[in-house]
Amino acid sequence: AADPGAGEVFAAMDGRYTVQHREAAVRSMPSISSKQIGVLKRDDRVAGWALEVDGQPWLRLDDDSRQDLKIEVDDAFVLIHGRCVGLGVLLRYHGDLLAPVSHYKVEHPRVVIRTSPSTKGSIIGTAEKGTPLSGWATDIDSVPWLRLDSKSRQERGLREEAFAMIHGESVGLGVLLKSMEEDLKFRAQEQLLELGE
């Protein structure tokens, strides 16, 4: 028989959440056996990136959520659905992340997708030239990376966090991902110029 809560479980979407249960533990790793580093109370609001570990949906808290909770470590995780501990929905999905998603297209013949924004991160996939990717651009040690959103990850069957380098200057390459927004702006300007002729 299908689990009645199964449909809610992969409401594991990147975004903002409200605590629905009386309380939810904040942990140092996405595992119920990892150290508890904080606690959320009912109606607290948090935001972050969804990932699935051993079949369980977790939310990796963003910087603002960690600061609000006065959590001093770099990573903090909250279980989204508590069925593995005999509970129901712990966090209710409540909207996209406030930062708008950026849209890119792969410009290089192929780019690698890694588990972390570093050339040392494990390779978990690739994307061929022309493939659209979406997510949030972030600079790590002056290198621009795209943190893939849940849509781009799910299209590739990726359950963990995933990153693709935007510009490969640091590894002797050029542009790897091209912003589709810049493309659209450029085309709109060209059309305006044509109209003005």
pLDDT digits (tens, 9 = 90+) for 131-155: 999 988 887 778 899 989 888 988 8
Residue 158: the pLDDT is 86
Distance, CA of 29 to chain centre: 16
Identify the band that residue 185 occupies on the pLDDT scale cut at 50, 70 and 90. Answer: low
Tens-digit pLDDT profile for residues 169-182: 999 999 999 998 76
Average pLDDT, integer, range 41-53: 88
pLDDT greater than 90 at residue 54: no
Q: Cα torsion at 139, 144, 150, 151 (round to 10°)?
A: 150
What is the number of other CB atoms lying within 10 angstroms of the CB of residue 89? 18
Q: Tell me the per-residue pLDDT of 75-117, one tens digit each, with 9 for 90 and over.
A: 899 999 998 889 989 998 877 665 677 899 999 999 999 988 8
pTM recorded for the entire structure: 0.53
| pLDDT, the chain, mean | 84
Q: Does residue 150 contact residue 50 with C-beta atoms inside 8 Å?
A: yes
**What's the CA dihedral at 99, 105, 111, 114 to 10 degrees?**
20
pLDDT at 187: 60
Q: Are 104 and 166 in contact (CB under 8 A)?
A: yes
Q: Do the beta carbons of residue 150 and residue 101 sit within 8 Å?
A: no
